[in-house]
Copies of this chain bind each other. A is one copy, B any other.
Amino acid sequence: MKLSTKGKYGLIAMADLAIAYLNNPNDSYLVLKTIATKRNISEAYLERIIAKLKKTNLIITQRGSLGGYSLAKHPKDIKVSEVLYELEGKLDVGGCSSSSDKSCIIKSNCFSQIVCEEINVKIREVIENMTIEDVLKSYLEKSKEF
């Protein structure tokens, strides 16, 4: 029951891109290497993660030298859920989600389903109501404490 590094790195990259975006919306391209080095993440691995986020149109790219990655839209318009669903799958704690799921042999799985359903609702509530901008703000807020 852990968020994998995929999700974590994805959020980190999005946050870095968001900072660049807010600093200068006109030219906010960041080079992969910059993020990877700064955050101490494997370049090749991060690339694959970002590729997924591009595929879902959260990120746009510029190829060639002077190229890089940028957010496709304002951080306030990107939900955390959009990032995590893409990178972590449905983020669905339970097993047989739909009642029509035939692969769920153990009907009585529903004992656990009752618990899972409640957890799922709460998780969705959190990540669908939180934007990348919110994450950034919370982080800055938190940093001040130190």
Contacts and interface: CB of A to CB of B under 8 A. Distances in A.
Interface of A: 1-4, 7-8, 11-12, 14-15, 38-41, 80, 84, 88-89, 91-95, 105-106, 108-112, 114-116, 118-119, 122-123, 125-127, 130, 135-136, 138-139, 142
8 contacts: A1-B4, A1-B88, A2-B93, A3-B116, A7-B112, A110-B139, A115-B127, A118-B130
Contact of A110 (B112, B116, B142): B142
Nearest to A96: B8
Contacts of A127: 115, 119
Main secondary structure of the interface of A (DSSP, over half): helix
A108 B3 contact: no
A96 to B, nearest CB: 10
A125 B122 contact: yes
Of residues A4, A41, A88, A109, which shows the largest number of chain B Cβ atoms within 10 Å of its Cβ? A109
Contacts of A2: 1, 92-95
A4 B138 CA distance: 31
Contact of A3 (B4, B95, B114, B138): B95
Contacts of A130: 115, 118
